[in-house]
Amino acid sequence: TADEERIVALRSGASGALGERMIGDAVAVTRATRTHPDVRQGSSVRGAIDTVLVAGRLAELRGVEDPYGQGYPELFYDAMIVALSGRIHLDEAAETTAEAVLREIWEDRFVLEPHKAAPG
């Protein structure tokens, strides 16, 4: 939501085109953890903040500046794993891992419905 995006922007300090993309993606994937059928408890907005902080640092280390460039999706996936894998709690009956759930959420965002992650 717009409120969550404002909170993440304020707390993470992310800005510019790359920061805006990271914020939108982080809020979207974090919200998706709250509705995934295998997740008993999804991540709060704090997970989105941490995802943006990790993604920003990875972008610096990897030299990723273009939010729609080739390296961004993989960078964002790595940030999700680091920031969110310990923040979601799976249903006891689920036969999966937190990492597999996050991979599915990432694929939904970046592979199956990339238009939602693209500008416009």
What does the pLDDT read at residue 112? 85
How many residues are recorded in the chain? 120
Residue 23 has pLDDT above 70, yes or no: yes
Domain spanning 2-117: which CATH class is it, in words?
mainly alpha
Mean pLDDT of 82-95: 95
Mean pLDDT of 83-105: 95
**pTM of the model as a whole:** 0.92
CB 86 within 8 A of CB 65: no
Mean pLDDT of the chain: 93
**Cα–Cα distance measured from residue 47 to residue 66, given in angstroms and rounded to the nearest whole number:** 23
CB 72 within 8 A of CB 79: no
Tens digits of residue pLDDT in 42-84: 999 999 999 999 999 999 999 999 999 999 999 999 999 999 9
Name the phi and psi angles at 27, rounded to 5. Answer: -65, -45
Confidence of residue 120 (pLDDT cuts 50, 70, 90): very low
What is the enclosing helix (H) or strand (E) of 29? helix 16-35
CB 101 within 8 A of CB 90: yes
In the chain, what are the domain boundaries?
Answer: 2-117
